[in-house]
Amino acid sequence: MFAPPIQRLVAEFAKLPGVGQRTAQRLALHVLRGTDEDARALATAISEVKAQIRPCEVCFNLTDTPVCRICSDARRDPTVICVVEDAADVVSLERTHEFHGRYHVLGGALSPLDGVDPDDLHLPELYRRLRGGEVRELIVATNPTTSGEATALHLARELRSVAPQVRVTRLAAGLSVGADLEYTDEVTLGRALLGRREL
């Protein structure tokens, strides 16, 4: 239906997460309708991101400098580290404006069925950070999925021997704001009951 160059552009857009065939076609046609300058700006932005963005040498968050702005910020509490699966999780937590510590990005979650083992994650680097003695709390903020839970349990078990002085906590799980009990699944309700707190 489309000329080969448009088909190739549609195919590339369709590789993006959450972008289906119809959305990919709309994006390709939007690029085609735009000016040459707009197309070059998009291509340049993609090239610059690939060339300049790299993992932080300390926490593995995405950055364009050797150490990210969070790790280099002296106002952040170095005694509390929040462990997340990927850099998008850092963005989500930062939007809350509630966490003032530092982060450690694992680069995924344990999933033996998908071939993701402890050696595939940034765990040795995390253990090195914890052995320094400065960290007093590690917040495990992996996703509440099977692989996220497996990762959290693995971390808790390993830290008993690697850094027994570090308090390991997990993000609370339960009802979301505005949730209706009638439509909430049993697992979420059960976790909300277990994680209840005094008013």
Residues 27 and 94 grouped into a single domain: no
DSSP state of 188: H
Residue 161 lies in a domain: yes
- CATH value at residue 22: 1.10.8.420
More confident: 66 or 132: 66
> Would you report the helix, strand and coil content of the chain in percent, each value rounded to 5?
50, 10, 40
Q: Which domain does 102 fall in, by range?
A: 76-170
Among the residue ranges 7-11, 32-36, 143-147, 179-183, the one predicted with the least confidence is 179-183
Residue 153 lies in a domain: yes
The pTM for the full model equals 0.84
Q: Which residues lie below 8 Å from residue 30, measured CB to CB, with a gap of 6+?
A: none
Q: At what angle do helices 36-52 and 21-33 cross, to 10 degrees?
A: 120
What's the number of domains the chain is made of? Answer: 2
